Amino acid sequence: MICWINPFTGLAGDMLLAALLDAGAPTAAVHAAIAATGLDGWDLTTEHVTGHGLTATRVHVRVTDRAAERRAAELITLASSAEPAPVAATAVTALRAIAEAEARIHGTDPASVHLHELGDHDTLVDIVGVAAALHALGVDEVVCAPLPLGTGRVNSAHGLIPAPAPATLALLDGADVTGSDIPGETVTPTAAALLRAIGARYGTAPAMTLRATGYGAGTRRLADRPNVAVVTLGERPADADETVTVLETNLDDVTGELLGYVIAHLLDAGALDAWTTPAVMKKGRPGHVLHVLSRPQDADRLQEAVFTETGTLGVRRLGTTRTVAPRTFETVDVGGLPVRVKHGPHGGKPEHDDLVDAAEKLGLPLRIVAEHAMRRSSGSRR
């Protein structure tokens, strides 16, 4: 599924979460992912609001146990417990990006940096919530229109600072931006970190078959326009050819355990696929070839991960295309737990991570949970 973001008046974490919920992201999956972090004293609700003739969803995070100025390390620890694992990986990446940006600006260590206004419940709920919503919707590609940047000044824990905030600009390094006539903060550090963590690329709406649109409202009211961000969800055209990059490296000095970890790490980092094939290396030594399938815009980042995690001295890079069949996702209820089912032209299959999570919590065999999910799936009735 493709998600195209139109930040009409800007983008904040709560606006993006609201827009995804408005587009059909299951609220139960978002709540479950946040609850798994162990965060206490929060409640997430939604309402429909209308401004300048346009109805949108707004989210409210109500807290009863607000702790100000949390350290980044504390939020990262909470986010690492989010479920399922890909949601935690995205949330941790976003929070680490915020911590590193703040640390560079203030000349401190990322592990000990205080996040001030970014260190409360709202930031964690927004980040984990967006990651969970994208995961539940089956989004595997995010494209964002250029972000409109406001001018003037904004209040912070350190006093008045210029808009856009320094942390926002640091997090938007490499993003496409444009000027805006709206004064103040139009793009928040939380939104900028999320876009970085999910590997968003920038441009106009890509070719897709439109399936849903959601409108997320911001808290500020504007005099002449609705304050909204828009997300459009769509499927790639049937049998569309997509340009991809294949990274390869030969390895004869790493263990099977390390290879398993590296594959999981690369998938969590945004690889389209990752696998190994056995090979006979020089001098007859047994080894493996590590393959990583990547979108072109992610290839540099994933290549660096291969170098860092394996210690290899060289990575080959091959350009090719793949034909992508259309697919849809639905979320079914199995024993009160959400399980996503992916449908293609020739059949459907429940998502393995969701099955594992449900099987563990329900105390049932994995195959039984899979059978329940397929019986409840609309695909079984087609």
Per-range mean pLDDT, top range of 39-43, 104-108, 113-117, 159-163: 39-43
Reported as a pLDDT band with limits 50, 70 and 90, residue 68 is low
Boundaries of domain holding 255 = 240-324
320 and 332 in a single domain? The answer is no
pLDDT at 75 over 90: no
Q: So what's the pLDDT on residue 382?
A: 46
CA dihedral 61, 148, 137, 329 (to 10 degrees): 150
The two structure tokens encoding residue 325 = 């069949």
According to DSSP, residue 187 is labeled B
Predicted confidence (pLDDT) at residue 184 exceeds the cutoff of 90: no
User: What angle in degrees, to the nearest 10, is found between the helix axes of 121-137 and 72-79?
Assistant: 30
**Per-residue pLDDT, 329:** 75
**Average confidence (pLDDT) over 310-322:** 92
* CATH classification at residue 314: 3.30.70.1380
Q: Say if residue 276 is in the same domain as residue 360.
A: no
| Euclidean distance between CA atoms 163 and 256, whole angstroms | 49
Number of domains composing the chain: 3
Judgement on whether residues 153 and 226 belong to the same structural domain of the protein: yes
The Cα 373–Cα 346 span in angstroms is 17
Least Cα distance to 207 among 181, 183, 236, 177 occurs for 236
For the chain, what is the mean pLDDT?
Answer: 86
Are both 301 and 341 inside the same structural domain? no
What residues form DSSP beta bridges with 229?
Answer: 216
Helix (H, G, I), strand (E, B) or coil at 174: coil
Give the pLDDT score at 158. Answer: 57
* Nearest-angstrom CA–CA distance, 348 and 215: 29
Alpha helices in the chain (DSSP H): 13-22, 27-35, 72-79, 85-106, 121-137, 166-171, 189-197, 256-268, 299-310, 352-362, 366-376
> Which residue in 187, 57, 197, 95 sits closest to 139, CA to CA?
197
Largest CA distance in the chain: 74
Check whether residue 57 and residue 196 sit in a common domain.
Answer: yes
pLDDT score recorded for residue 343: 84
Instruction: Report CA dihedral (168, 170, 175, 178) to the nearest 10 degrees.
Output: 50
Instruction: Based on the fold, state whether residues 227 and 244 are members of the same structural domain.
Output: no
Structure tokens at 140: 């595997």
Q: Which of 12-16, 332-336, 338-342 tops mean pLDDT?
A: 12-16
Place of tokens 């590997």: 199
pLDDT digits (tens, 9 = 90+) for 112-150: 665 544 446 788 899 999 999 999 998 888 999 999 998
Instruction: pLDDT band for 330, please (50, 70, 90 cuts).
Output: confident
> Of the given ranges (55-69, 77-91, 279-293), which has the lowest mean pLDDT?
55-69
Say which range, 222-226, 236-240, 270-274, 333-337, has the weakest mean pLDDT: 236-240
295 & 187 share domain: no
Report the pLDDT averaged over residues 6-24. Answer: 95
Q: Which residues pair with 141 in a beta bridge?
A: 2
Q: Average pLDDT of 230-247? A: 84
CA distance 263 to 276: 8
Look at residue 107 in the predicted model and tell me its pLDDT.
Answer: 64
3-class DSSP assignment, residue 103: helix
pLDDT at 119: 45
Q: Are residues 44 and 176 in the same domain?
A: yes
d(CA 316, CA 189): 35
Give yes or no: residues 107 and 214 share one domain.
Answer: yes
**What is the reported pLDDT for 21?**
97
Separation in Å, CA 355 to CA 33, 35, 67: 15, 18, 35
Q: What is the pLDDT of residue 50?
A: 92
- 0.85 exceeded by the pTM? no
pLDDT at residue 156 in the model:
62
Of 339, 371, 357, the C-alpha closest to 380 is 371
DSSP 145: P
**DSSP one-letter code for 345:** T
Do 250 and 165 lie in a common domain? Answer: no
Asked whether residue 220 carries a pLDDT value surpassing 50, the answer given is: yes
Cβ(24)–Cβ(233) below 8 Å? yes
| Same structural domain, 65 and 174 | yes
Token digits of residue 365: 């065999």
Q: Do both 163 and 258 map to the same domain?
A: no
Of residues 331 and 280, the one with the higher pLDDT is 280
